[in-house]
Amino acid sequence: MQGVYIDSFHTQKAGNAAIEYEDAFWTPAPTARLREESVRIAIADGATDAIYSGLWARLLVKAYGKRRMTSETAEDYLSRAAQVWGRAVARRPLPWYAEEKARRGAYAALIGLELNRGGGGESGSWSALACGDSCFFHLRSDAVIESFPVTRAEDFSSTPLLLGSNPRTRGLEGIRTAAGTWQEGDCFYLMSDALASWFLGRCETGDVPWQALRDITIAKEPPFEEWIASLRKERAIKNDDCTLIGISFEHC
DSSP conformation letters of 36-55: -SEEEEEEEEE-TTSSSHHH
4-249: in CATH 3.40.50.980: no
pLDDT tens readout for residues 67-94: 999 999 999 999 999 999 999 988 888 7
Q: Domain segments of the chain: what residues?
A: 4-249
Burial of 167-192, coded b for 16+ CB within 10 Å and e otherwise, reads eeebbeebbeebeeebebebbbbbbb
**pTM of the predicted model as reported, rounded to 2 decimal places:** 0.93
pLDDT tens readout for residues 6-47: 899 999 999 999 999 999 999 986 544 556 678 999 999 999
| Contact in structure between 252 and 187 (CB atoms under 8 Å) | yes
